Amino acid sequence: MRFNLILSLLLMLFLSNFILTNKVQAQYLVSPATQTIGFVNILDVVARYEKAQRIDKQLKQSEEEFKKLYEEKQKELESYAQQETSLTKLKDYKAKLESELEPKLDKLIQQSDKVSAEILKEIVEAIKVVADRKKIDIVLRSEVILAGGIDMTDWVVNELNAKNK
């Protein structure tokens, strides 16, 4: 009798473990098939995001101003080089001009990095909002998609431009 009770308990334990294992396995086998995959062309989003284009225009203007300043300093150096025969004085003058330009270049680079990070953060947030709204579980960059998936690019651009009007 005791043997039958132990056998029954072991059988129940085995069956419950088997059923639980199969349920867990079934859940993992079914889940990926039910997940929705979307993709975004980030370069296209940036190109069509109005705020990014305004900022890019401002940065290009700042870059052009720096380029003009650099060219002016280059001309100053060439003019100084024609007048000065001492190599030491010429090197000192060049170092002086470089020290004037370096902080401006650093500021321009920092500004560009800061703005790029801000734009990327806004794009990622818009992707999350759109993915949630459209019930998309996984979002990838368009470059890694060979076939299939849902193109979210237009939705993300619309979300960004609507938010920043």
CATH number at residue 121: 3.30.910.20
Find the angle CA(122)-CA(53)-CA(62) to the nearest 5 degrees.
110
Note whether 111 and 94 are same-domain residues: yes
Q: 25 is in which domain, residue-wise?
A: 1-34
Note whether 24 and 67 are same-domain residues: no
User: pLDDT digit string (tens) for 38-66?
Assistant: 989 989 998 999 998 888 888 888 888 88
Enclosing H/E stretch for 134: none
Note whether 104 and 125 are same-domain residues: yes
Buried b (16+ CB within 10 A) or exposed e, 47-69: ebbebbeebbeeeeeeeeeeeee
Note whether 54 and 27 are same-domain residues: no
Chain-centre distance of CA 36, in angstroms?
21
Across the chain, the runs of DSSP E, i.e. the strands, are 37-40, 138-141, 150-151
pLDDT at position 33: 58
Distance CA 69, CA 30 (A): 63
Residue 129 binned pLDDT confidence (cut-offs 50, 70, 90): very high
Which pTM does this prediction carry?
0.66
Note whether 42 and 29 are same-domain residues: no
pLDDT at position 75: 85
What total of structural domains would you count in the chain? Answer: 2
Note whether 7 and 53 are same-domain residues: no
Residue 5 binned pLDDT confidence (cut-offs 50, 70, 90): very low
